[in-house]
Amino acid sequence: MIDLSIEFAGLKLKNPLIAASAGTTKDAVHCKKAADAGYSAVILKSVQEEMINRYNPFPRMSIIRNGIPGYQSVTFMTYEQAFEGEIEDYCEEIKRTKDMLDIPVIASLNCANEQTWAQYAVKCEAAGADALEIVPSCPVGAFVREAAEFYPAASKALKSVKEVVKIPAGLKMTQQMSNPILCARNLEEDGADWVTMFNRSSGFQIDIDTMEPIMHKGFCGHGGPWVIQSVMRWIAASYPYVRIPISATGGAANYEDVVRYMLSGAATVQIASLIYMKGYDIVKRILEDLVEYLEKHKLDKVSTLTGIGANKVLPLSEADRSHRYYAEVDYENCIRCQNCFPVCIYGAITQEDRRPVIHKDICDGCGLCSQVCNRAITMKQR
Ligand SMILES: Cc1cc2nc3c(=O)[nH]c(=O)nc-3n(C[C@H](O)[C@H](O)[C@H](O)COP(=O)(O)O)c2cc1C
């Protein structure tokens, strides 16, 4: 029997997948959908202190299909802000959610003034929240002004909350800073029970015909599957330096992403965009696939994945620099797609009858042609 349970910052979770704070956890009814689907905890949509942030603009979501032709990627750009109500309404929602769910309910705070963090935290704890996520990293609007000051503001918020509550409190970091490792370490010293890496970044998109920023002409939260590698990079780099658990969030779309996040050092993985795009129940498939993966690798506890890959990161000085590879074409499998021709900047590929001829003596061995090929090109050792 595979054990998917996780001990996370004092919370007992039945699996590593948490429904992240978003419209998809905006109230008890939505949280219940996440719980029924199989998420192990829910983080309620953030309550904001600033009045203007309590009212969402419409429409507020845009899917940007961007990228090199043939290699498209997707950006999910959103203008969504916060829970639409006062802190008192939020506390009522915490109570309702607690009544309806039998998994941990995490409240999410986004305050504007230093002294408010503690006041909101006390109220959420009294309403029954099992933990608090402190979010000084909202990517919409004012965040841009504060990015350079993220750690001092986060530290003050965290310390003031930790002074007044007993429930665990984690801090949701922004990636838009120079040194997330140091920030995570300092937050641990400040008393964080976990760090979440990372909130969506603050982004911008312009319509080239109207020549105006899209939607509401401001800075938006943006993310997508492309963000995973950079989030993993910072998780893997931070993992050796922090003892508190790291919760990963950003672009996770399947069990492979969950496994990669955990191997990089995450204890849990938070999911939002996937629920928007594919519904709550997609988590069932991820959990089934995760079990299958663990069985295949003869691992009986999912928690053992955390950090395995982070511990194998080598310093740049140890990278293999020997020039040993060259590309070779298997003409049986070549479908004349011609993807390989433009990518060889070394001039090692010429064409004959729309098929590639690789000049081994010129080939750099960089491997790019084999990556863009439909399986006919492989790398061989010299
Ligand atoms: C529409 C939308 C609204 C969000 N609102 C919040 C929020 O209120 N508070 C918060 O901490 N994160 C918020 N997030 C960020 C998510 O919690 C999550 O960290 C982020 O989207 C990355 O995960 P994903 O790629 O699975 O969406 C929001 C994300 C989306 C897409």
SS3 letters across the chain:
CCECCEEECCEEECCCEEECCCHHHCCHHHHHHHHHHCCCEEECCCEECCHHHHCCCCCCEEEEEECCCCCCEEEEEECCCCCCCCHHHHHHHHHHHHHHCCCCEEEEEECCCCCHHHHHHHHHHHHCCCEEEECCCCCCCCHHHHHHHHHHHHHHHHHHHHHHCCCCEEEECCCCCCCHHHHHHHHHHCCCCEEEECCCEEECCEECCCCEECCCCCCEEEECHHHHHHHHHHHHHHHHHCCCCEEEECCCCCHHHHHHHHHHCCCEEEECHHHHHHCCCHHHHHHHHHHHHHHHCCCCEHHHHCCCCHHHCCCHHHCCCCCCEEEEECCCCCCCCCCHHHHCCCCCEEEECCEEEECCCCCCCCCHHHHHCCCCEEEEEC
Kindly tell me if the per-residue pLDDT of 32 is higher than 90: yes
Instruction: Give distance in angstroms: CA of 128 to centre of ligand 1.
Output: 23
Instruction: Give distance in angstroms: CA of 86 to centre of ligand 1.
Output: 20
The band of 146, judged by pLDDT with boundaries at 50, 70 and 90, is: low
Instruction: Give distance in angstroms: CA of 175 to centre of ligand 1.
Output: 13
Residue 86's pLDDT is: 93
From the CA of 276, give the closest atom in ligand 1.
31
Kindly tell me if the per-residue pLDDT of 237 is higher than 90: yes
The burial class, CB within 10 Å (0-12 / 13-18 / 19+), for 366 is middle
Find how far residue 120's CA is from the centre of its chain: 26
- Residues 262-309 have pLDDT tens digits of 999 999 999 999 999 999 999 999 999 999 999 999 999 999 999 999
Residue 16's pLDDT is: 98
From the CA of 46, give the closest atom in ligand 1.
8
Q: How far apart are CA 370 and CA 293, in angstroms?
A: 27
Q: What is the CA radius of gyration of the chain?
A: 23
Kindly tell me if the per-residue pLDDT of 322 is higher than 80: yes
Cβ atoms of 27 and 82 closer than 8 Å: no
Tokens of 318: 């140890």
Going from N- to C-terminal start, the domains of the chain cover 6-312, 320-381
Best residue among 258, 273, 276 to mutate for probing ligand 1's pocket (most ligand atoms within 8 Å of CB) is 273
Q: How far apart are CA 118 and CA 116, in angstroms?
A: 5
Kindly tell me if the per-residue pLDDT of 188 is higher than 80: yes
77: closest CA among 103, 95, 59, 100? Answer: 59
Residue 144's pLDDT is: 44
Instruction: Give distance in angstroms: CA of 313 to centre of ligand 1.
Output: 29
CB-ligand 1 contact for 46 (6 Å cutoff): yes
The burial class, CB within 10 Å (0-12 / 13-18 / 19+), for 294 is buried
How confident is the model over 213-231, as a mean pLDDT? Answer: 93
CB-ligand 1 contact for 132 (6 Å cutoff): no
Residue 60's pLDDT is: 86
CB-ligand 1 contact for 82 (6 Å cutoff): yes
369: closest CA among 332, 325, 323? Answer: 325
Instruction: Give distance in angstroms: CA of 272 to centre of ligand 1.
Output: 6
CB pairs under 8 A, 24+ apart, for 206-211? none
Instruction: Give distance in angstroms: CA of 250 to centre of ligand 1.
Output: 8
Q: How far apart are CA 207 and CA 204, in angstroms?
A: 10
CA distances from 31 to 62, 93, 151, 187 (A): 24, 10, 30, 28
CB-ligand 1 contact for 174 (6 Å cutoff): no
Residue 82's pLDDT is: 76
CATH of 6-312 given 3.40.50.1820, 3.40.50.720, 3.20.20.70, 3.40.50.970: 3.20.20.70
Q: What is the CATH number of domain 320-381?
A: 3.30.70.20
Instruction: Give distance in angstroms: CA of 276 to centre of ligand 1.
Output: 10
Kindly tell me if the per-residue pLDDT of 141 is higher than 80: no
How confident is the model over 346-361, as a mean pLDDT? Answer: 96
Kindly tell me if the per-residue pLDDT of 157 is higher than 80: yes
Cβ atoms of 232 and 306 closer than 8 Å: no
From the CA of 225, give the closest atom in ligand 1.
25
Q: How far apart are CA 291 and CA 293, in angstroms?
A: 5
Query: Among 20-34, 50-64, 96-110, 126-140, whose mean pLDDT is lowest?
Result: 50-64
Backbone torsions φ then ψ of 184, nearest 5 degrees: -60, -45
Q: How far apart are CA 57 and CA 374, in angstroms?
A: 44
Residue 122's pLDDT is: 98
Tokens of 273: 């965009």
How confident is the model over 17-38, as a mean pLDDT? Answer: 98
Best residue among 124, 200, 271 to mutate for probing ligand 1's pocket (most ligand atoms within 8 Å of CB) is 200
